[in-house]
Amino acid sequence: MILEYLLSLISLYLVIVTIGVVHVLLYKRDARSALGWIGLILVFPVAGALLYLLFGINRVRRKARRISLRVEPEGGWRRAGLLPEGGACLDNVGFAITGLGLKPGNSVHCYHDGEEAFPAMLDAIQAARREVLLSSYIFDNDSTGQQFVDALASARDRGVDVRVLIDDVGMRYSFPTVARAFRKAGLEFRRFMPLRLIPPSLSLNLRTHRKLLITDRTLAFAGGMNIGDRQLARGHSRHRASDLHFGFEGPAVGEFVRLFEEDWRFMGGEKLSHRQARTVPAGDAEVRVISDGPDETLDSLALLIGGTIGRARQRAWIMTPYFLPDRALTGCLQAAALSGVDVRVMIPETNNWPVVQWALQHTMAELLIAGVRILRRPAPFAHSKCIIIDEDYALVGSSNLDPRSLRLNFEVGVEVFDPALNEHLATHFEALVPTCSTYTMPTINARSTPVRLRDAAAALFSPYL
């Protein structure tokens, strides 16, 4: 009896371990991550396999947006001076990665904090006559969230086609969730990758981190802002943050519509109408919208960021709330700084996830030694996300510079070739520099042994922070 029991346990162990190890070997491209998961599954087969199920399976299958790089996409274009099979120009990086041409003739407006962005977004919803498409990671059940619910309900009552997609994990940042307000208003919405026991769907990764609002296919908003009081920099929320958001008019709006529709259809939503986005030029900005996520678009933004920093000749200024560069990005930043490029990274003085700051402190010495300046911006929490390259390029959107954003979340990046926006963002960056403190080698070396051990332990988990 005992022998049969032991044989059953051994058989169960072998089945769990075999399935887990085979899946890791087939789907984990990072050798260090794969080795860590295999070790955990071998030592703790049940707990290790469960943790791998929750945190380790980081791919979903969706139809790829990429197209042949040898085919010029309809409606797009490559800037003058690019070679047919590639070239040295900065603007060729995004084309080489996505196969998507730049969309000329756009206007791009930068909004600072929720105090500027939310009134413009609410006005756009109130002015909509045909369609409102909204996607958000966090949609808080607070006064700001209720304003958006009321505006969406009012648009629906006017006969506007309203579609709302909210990430199921992000929606739970407030309790009770905003779902109650949506149901009370009679508004239909969809949850992205909903958590459930039956059938099991418990992944805390694979979240949509995109923030999109599109009205009548003529105006789009995208950037780093969630919906809630937390985005009011001068508000009273204990989570208040300073942020950047962007409004787009022109041919690029159609790209945001297509990206929203992919996510909407992926979660079982009906196909959008064939209504055309406005293609009339609205400004001088050239724009490319880039999808990134743990599907067929994996690594699009990581490659883009590395490629554009590698092409910088004067400056590469970065604003990000979460900064945990992998080895490839670290190398790009080091190489740029060593070649004489002014490389600065502005992060929050105190991170709302302390473990991220601890892990960075363990690895930042090699960046500082190479000449990368890491600036610490004081409260409110610095949630802005942008990369400013030289004098006419900016990358904005929803992505942070950490593994969770670049490998585990669905994100949107927007390349903008526009000297006016570049100058605006650079002026904003420079105005903040005097308020910042700076990480230096003496401060890193002055950490006590317990703090060093804490930081080193945190860095072990950096692929999932």
d(C-alpha 428, C-alpha 384), whole Å? 11
- Pairing mode of beta strands 161-167, 190-192: parallel
Strand partners, 215: 132, 219
d(C-alpha 341, C-alpha 334), whole Å? 10
- Coarse DSSP helix, strand, coil percentages of the chain, rounded to the nearest 5 percent: 45, 20, 35
Find tokens 């919803």 and name the residue.
Answer: 125
Q: Determine which helix (DSSP H) or strand (DSSP E) holds 110, and give its type and residue range.
A: strand 103-112
Find tokens 């985005």 and name the residue.
Answer: 231
Omega before residue 348 within 30° of 0, cis: no
Strand partners, 444: none
d(C-alpha 359, C-alpha 365), whole Å? 12
CA angle 213, 245, 79 (to 5 degrees): 90
Q: Which residue type does 42 have?
A: L
Enumerate residues 6+ apart whose C-beta is below 8 A from 20.
Answer: 37, 38, 41, 45, 48, 49, 52
Is residue 223 left, alpha or beta, with left meaning phi > 0 and alpha meaning psi from -120 to 50? left
d(C-alpha 7, C-alpha 20), whole Å? 20
Nearest C-alpha neighbor of 261 from the set 135, 74, 128, 136? 135
d(C-alpha 190, C-alpha 260), whole Å? 12
- Pairing mode of beta strands 161-167, 409-417: unpaired
d(C-alpha 398, C-alpha 105), whole Å? 23
Omega before residue 199 within 30° of 0, cis: yes
Q: What is the per-residue pLDDT for 200?
A: 65
Q: What is the per-residue pLDDT for 461?
A: 80
Q: What is the CATH number of domain 109-283?
A: 3.30.870.10
Give me the CATH topology for the region 300-464. Answer: Endonuclease; Chain A (3.30.870)
DSSP string, 207-246: EE---EEEETTTEEEEES--BSGGG-TTSS-TT-EE-EEE
Q: What is the per-residue pLDDT for 43?
A: 75
DSSP 278: P
d(C-alpha 241, C-alpha 235), whole Å? 9
10-residue block means of pLDDT along the chain (465 residues)? Answer: 73 76 71 70 75 65 38 44 46 86 96 98 98 98 98 97 96 94 95 81 81 97 98 95 98 96 93 81 94 84 94 96 94 97 97 93 95 97 97 96 89 97 98 97 94 90 74
Q: What is the pTM of this model?
A: 0.86
Tell me the CA distances in angstroms from 168 to 32, 174, 208, 365, 454, one per residue in order. 30, 11, 9, 37, 32
Sign of the alpha-carbon dihedral angle for 269, 270, 275, 276: positive
DSSP 52: I
Find tokens 């390029």 and name the residue.
Answer: 393
Chain region(s) in the chain for CATH 3.30.870.10: 109-283, 300-464
CA of residue 94 relative to chain centroid, distance: 17
In the three-class reduction of DSSP (H, G, I as helix; E, B as strand; rest coil), residue 316 is classed as strand
Tell me the CA distances in angstroms from 249 to 255, 305, 387, 451, one per residue in order. 11, 24, 21, 49
Provide the terminal-to-terminal Cα distance of the chain, rounded to the nearest Å. Answer: 46
